[in-house]
Structure 1
Amino acid sequence: MISFDFQDRDLGEDEIEDLRVVFTEFDKNGDGYVNYKDLGDCMRTMGYMPTEMELIELSQVITGGRVDFEDFVDLMGPKLLAETADMIGMKELQRAFMEFDADRDGRISRAELRDAVRTLMEEQPHSKELEEILRDVDLNRDGLVDFEEFIQMMSS
């Protein structure tokens, strides 16, 4: 197994294999290198949208105008790890939402919001405070907070 150190953990075998598949697809002549001109297309295939400036900066760092697999992993590994961190953040949001959604119906009611605010603030919230929170968060004005509204509330 190839192991590359990034941030708090190494890339897993499946992540390395995903990178290898994409790399091989863009290694047009099979010489073990991807031309820096093809690197942008390669990155876009993986769902990343590098700007022209980023590609110019990469081309200045790349020796000989081409990237081998290890350099490719060095470039793309942090992006994969950041993506994984974002997904972990989403899981944490889902857990938090489930804590508020006591009846597990996929929506946070006014009563559930009151209980959550009471638990978080350790005091009884006033009706005006609850109405204000609901008014700010309840974008579709149905009197409930769904997961998308919850995400927006937590990210603002």
Structure 2
Amino acid sequence: MADIEEARKAFDRFDGNSDGLITAAEYKSAMAQLGDFHVTETVAQAVINAHDSNNDGLLTFEEFLASRAKG
């Protein structure tokens, strides 16, 4: 249970507008806040696409959680 709560907190840091989806722009912004200014929107989209199981170009919490489980 703690792992899911931890994942939810991490997801919420990336989901800037709290709509339940992480966009490339939100991913890039969160990475910059974490100190990684080298992540471009193109790179962010590639990361999202690698874990985007329904191919909509966005990351849901379920997809985010699954990516952490692989990790």
TM-score by length of 2: 0.81
Gaps of 5+ in 2: none
Distance 1:117 1:130 in 2: 9
Partner of 2:64: 150
Matched length: 70
- State the Cα RMSD in Å: 1.6
Partner of 1:132: 46
Give the 3 Å change call, closer, same or farther, for CA 152–122 of structure 1 in structure 2: same
Partner of 1:110: 24
Which has the greater radius of gyration?
1
1:139: Cα distance to partner?
Answer: 1.3
**Percent of matched pairs sharing the same residue:** 31
Distance 1:131 1:96 in 2: 18
TM-score by length of 1: 0.41
Q: Structure 1 runs of 4+ off > 6 angstroms?
A: none
Gaps of 5+ in 1: 1-86
